[in-house]
Amino acid sequence: MTTTHTTAPEAPRANTTDQPYSLIGIPPHIGRALATAGGALAVVSTFLAWTWTAEFPGDLTVYGYPGGLQVLVLVGGALTTLFGLASYGVKGLRWLTPAGADSALKLAALGTFATAWYTIIAISVTLGGLVNLEPGGYVVAAAGLAAALGALSLPYQRPAPDPADPDDTGWEKFRHDTRTALGVFKAGFATGTPTPARKLPAYAEILVIVAALAIGLIVFTYGIGTEYDELFIGFLITTGFGFGALAKAGLVQRLTAITAEHRNVTLVGAFVAAAAFPFTQSDDQYASIGVYILIFATVALGLNIVVGLAGLLDLGYVAFLGVGAYAAAMVSGSPLSPFDIHLPFWASALVGAAVAMVFGVIIGAPTLRLRGDYLAIVTLGFGEIFRIAVLNMDGTSGPDLTNGSQGIPSIPNLSILGFDFGEEHSIAGFTIGRFANYFLLMLLITLVVVIVFRRSSDSRIGRAWIAIREDETAALAMGINGFRVKLIAFALGATLAGLAGTVQAHVTYTVTPEQYQFAHAVPPNSAFLLAAVVLGGMGTISGPLVGAALLYLIPEKLQFLGEFQLFAFGVALVLLMRFRPEGLIPNRRRQLEFHEEKAEAPTVLSKAGA
C-alpha cells in the first residue's frame, strides 16, 4: 500500500515591490495628520509677528495682518490643510483630489516647509541671527518641520520590475487590473485613493474656467509685482510646489479637459484676463515687462509651428524677428532710415511680416531638404549671417541701409486712428501709460497668432506637419509632399516672427544687431526662444506662452544674483527637464512618449496616490 503524502500549498509571498513604503518609517496615517496639522499651524503663524524689526523687507512685525513672505506661507499652509482634509474624506473637499490625495499633500507640505524655512533663514542672515525672531517665527519653523515630516512619511509605491516576457497575457491582465483599480472609486479616502470625475453642467464648467483664469491673473500680477528679491524667490518656491501639488491631485488634468470642451470660451476669457492686467497696475513699470513678455511669447508661438508641429529644429529663428523689426523701422519715419517713408502701422506691419516671409522662403527653399542636426546647423548659420550682414551695412563695409552697429534709432511712436501709443490715456477712469498701450496692441497681435496657430494645427496642413514630425519617411510614403509642407511651416513661422518684430521696433525705439544674437543676456534670442517652446510644451498653444513668460520674468527678477544669474537659471532648467521633460503644459502625445513605461500618465494618477 502506497501512502500519498500531501502538503499544504505554500502561502503566496507578498510582492514587496508593490507595497507602499515610507522614507522615515512613520505610519502613513500619522504622517497625514502631521502634514495637515503643520499646514494649519503655518496658517495660524502668519497672523503672528515673525521678527521685531521692520528692517527685513515686507514688515513681518504686525500681528493679525500677514504681509510679504507671510502671505506665501499662508497660501502654502492653506493648500496643505485642504489636501490633508480631503485625504480624510471631508465632505465637500473630495473634488480637490480626483487623482488621489497623498502625492498632492506631499508636495504642498514640502512647499510650505521650503517657503517657511527659507524665510527664517533669510531673516537670520539679513538681521544677524535667530535672536531676531519673534514667537511667530519659531511657530512657523515648527509648523514647516511638522509638515515636512508628515510629507516624508506618506507612502511611496515602488514600481514593479518588468517581467521576462512583457507580451504574456498575465502581464497584460496585470496592467489592465492596475489601470482599472487606479481609476475606480474606492472607499476609504484616508488612503489617498482617486475619486471618479463627475460631469458638470456647461455653465458650471464655464465658471470653473473663469475662476481659473482669474486665479492665473492674480498669480501673474503678484509675481510680476514682487518688490524685493526675497519675495520673488519665495514666490517661485510656492508656485512651483503649488502647481506640482495641483497637477498630482489631478486638478490640472481635469481643468485641461474642461477647457478642451470650451475652447472658444477659454480663448476669449484668457484674452479678457490678459487685457485686464494693465488696469491692475498703478504705474507703467511692470506693464513694460508685460509687453516684452508678449513679444517674446508671440515669437515663441511662431517657433512652435516650426519646432513643435513640423519638428524642424531652427536655431536661427530670432533672425526673422530682426527682419521684421528692421523692415518696419525703415518705413516708419525714422530720421536715420535710408528711405524717406512714413507708413501707417498697418502698412509697416504688413511690410515687416511680408519681408520676413520672403526671407523664410529664401532660406528654407535650399535648406529644408536637410534633416535633424544638419538643418539646425544651417539655421544657426543663417541667424549669424543676418546679424553680421546688418552690422556691416553701414556704408563702409557694405551698402548704407542699417547704420551698422548704431542701428536705426528714433523710431516714432505708433499712432492708429489718432490714438498715440506714446502718450498716457484715461480709459474707464484708469490711466494707462505708453507701455500699457503697447501691451494692449501686442495682446491683439498675440490673439491673431494664437488663432493662426490653432487653425493651422487643426487643418489638413497641420496634420501633415505632425505626420512629418513623427516619421518623415512614413509621411512621404503616404503621399505627403514633405518639402512643400515644411516650407509652408517655415514661411508661416517667419511671418509671425516678423509681425511681432514690427511692434518691438516701436516699443524699443531702436533696432540694433546685438538684439538678435543666438545667445544674448536679454531675451528674446534663439536659445531662449527654443527653451521657451521646450519648457512650456511643444505642440501646444498655452505651453510656449507660459514658457516664454517664465523665461523672461525669472531672469528679469534674478538680476540681484549678478554673475551667478545664468548659473541659477540653468540649474532650474536642468531640474525642470529632469522631473518634467515633456514641459509644463505638455501635448498629450508627447506626455505619453516620455512616460510610456508607466501604467498611468503622471499628471493624472501618481504613484503615491496608488
Q: Which residues of 429-457 are buried (b: 16+ CB within 10 A; e: fewer)?
A: eeebbbbbbbbbbbbebbbebbebbeebb
Q: For strand 425-427 and strand 419-420, is the pairing parallel, antiparallel, or unpaired? A: unpaired
C-alpha cell of 52?
A: 521685531
pLDDT tier, 2 (very low <50, low <70, confident <90, very high otherwise): very low
- Asked whether residue 137 falls in the same domain as residue 60, the answer is yes
Give the count of alpha carbons within 13 A of 546, CB side only: 18
At position 210, the amino acid (one-letter code) is V
Judge whether residue 141 has pLDDT over 90.
Answer: yes
C-alpha cell of 602?
A: 503622471
Judge whether residue 359 has pLDDT over 80.
Answer: yes
Rounded-to-integer distance, Cα 69 and Cα 67, Å: 6
Judge whether residue 591 has pLDDT over 80.
Answer: no
598 or 303, higher pLDDT: 303
Q: Determine if residue 583 is left, alpha or beta; phi over 0 gives left, psi from -120 to 50 gives alpha, anything else beta.
A: left
Distances (CA, A) of 504 to 5, 293, 326, 397, 413: 89, 11, 10, 27, 11
At position 45, the amino acid (one-letter code) is S
- pLDDT confidence of residue 532: 85
* Residue 279 resides in a domain: no
Range of the domain at 443: 284-421+433-563
* Residue 596 resides in a domain: no
pLDDT > 90: percent of the chain: 19
* Residue 568 resides in a domain: no
* Residue 438 resides in a domain: yes
Average pLDDT over residues 41-46: 95
- Asked whether residue 229 falls in the same domain as residue 298, the answer is no
- Asked whether residue 234 falls in the same domain as residue 294, the answer is no
* Residue 351 resides in a domain: yes
Rounded-to-integer distance, Cα 224 and Cα 294, Å: 13
> Is the omega angle on the peptide bond into residue 524 within 30 degrees of 0, that is, cis?
yes
- Asked whether residue 210 falls in the same domain as residue 329, the answer is no
Rounded-to-integer distance, Cα 93 and Cα 464, Å: 44
Mean of pLDDT over the chain: 80
* Residue 363 resides in a domain: yes
pLDDT tier, 112 (very low <50, low <70, confident <90, very high otherwise): very high
Judge whether residue 166 has pLDDT over 50.
Answer: no
C-alpha cell of 376?
A: 539646425
pLDDT tier, 178 (very low <50, low <70, confident <90, very high otherwise): very low
* Residue 11 resides in a domain: no
Quote the number of domains for the chain.
Answer: 2
- Asked whether residue 98 falls in the same domain as residue 196, the answer is yes
pLDDT > 70: percent of the chain: 84
* Residue 534 resides in a domain: yes
CB 496 within 8 A of CB 393: no
CB 607 within 8 A of CB 156: yes
- pLDDT confidence of residue 23: 59
Block residue for cell numbers 491582465: 173
Rounded-to-integer distance, Cα 220 and Cα 274, Å: 10
Q: What is the DSSP letter of 562?
A: G
C-alpha cell of 110?
A: 514640502
Provide the 3-class DSSP secondary structure of residue 333. Answer: coil
